[in-house]
Amino acid sequence: MFRYLVGFTILALSQSTLVGEAAESAENQPPQFFLPYPLQSMFGIDAETFDAVREAEYDGAERACAGKVDAHIDGYVRRYRAYAPFRDDPDWRAAWLERFALTTLREELGCHFIVPLRRTLERAERARFHSEDDSGMPVWCGRWSDDTVDASLKAAIAGLVPLAFDHGMPSAEIIFTSRTASANETGRYATIHMNPDVALFLVERVVLLAAPEFGVHPTQFADAEGRARLRLDAVSPERRAEVMAAVETGDYQSILDTTEPC
């Protein structure tokens, strides 16, 4: 379906500025199709889009996210009108979100990817609070503490990890950092309680990915107090060197695979 739509879009745009190389790239890697047609960051969008985004924020979290996605897509097709016929096509929208919501607008539209995963996590945590004894519940510290974890919860964490560790998405990062910091400070049970080396990777990756032109900045846990709350000083110099090397390449999996048991 998407290849078919891309073919029509390429024909429509061939009269303007799309070159053959971009067309070929579009068929092989759909998100790359948008490369010749960049999206402005939140600080550079037109006034109509800006107002629509801010108006959407008054809705509840889920509706607000959908409204912001619509507002940004509407602004995009106003700027690149050949895309307008595909504004409501699910495949085109998915490719657009993959291209821009994970890069230029990862802070603004990260909710699109985060909300369903966070809902699964919160359901699991509510169920734990209603149990008589939660001491045996599995913990994610970079790996799972045991094999009894619910499949939906395991899938939710697996979905959140690359968003936080690879894309530096604030709404994903804080799910990991806030729960870990709270568990460290209060000593209370937490479903997510990162080992210090895993937390170090996340914090340093956030700092590396912070890009002012995208409106993305290090989270509160990247400062000295936040680092203390995550017990980052507990990481040995040797392990720190391994973590920092992985931060540069984005290889979070190597850290998760070699972290200590929970």
pLDDT at 10 over 50: no
pLDDT (0 to 100) of residue 217: 55
Average pLDDT rounded to a whole number, residues 229-240: 94
pTM of this structure: 0.75
The residue type of 258 is T
Written in H, E and C, the secondary structure of the chain is: CHHHHHHHHHHHHCCCCCCHHHHHHHHHCHHHHHCCCCCCCCCCCCHHHHHHHHHHCCCCHHHHHHHHHHHHHHHHHHHCHHHHHHCCCHHHHHHHHHHHCCCCCHHHHCHHHHHHHHHHHHHHHHHHHCCCCCCCCCCECCCECCCCCCHHHHHHHHHHHHHHHCCCCHHHHHHHHHHHHHHHHHCCCCCECCCHHHHHHHHHHHHHHCEHHHCECCCHHHCHHHHHHCCHHHCCHHHHHHHHHHHHHCCHHHHHHHCCCC
pLDDT band of 18, cuts 50, 70, 90: very low
Contact yes or no for 38/96 (Cβ under 8 A): no
What are the b/e assignments for 220-242, b being 16+ CB within 10 Å? ebbeeebbebbbbeebeeebbeb
Span 90-146, pLDDT tens digits: 989 999 998 898 888 888 888 899 988 988 888 877 776 655 555 567 899 999 998
Lowest mean pLDDT among 1-10, 185-194, 227-236: 1-10
pLDDT band of 220, cuts 50, 70, 90: low
Span 164-203, pLDDT tens digits: 998 888 889 989 998 999 889 888 778 899 999 999 999 9
State the CB neighbour count (10 A cutoff) for residue 55: 13
Q: What is the mean pLDDT of the chain?
A: 79
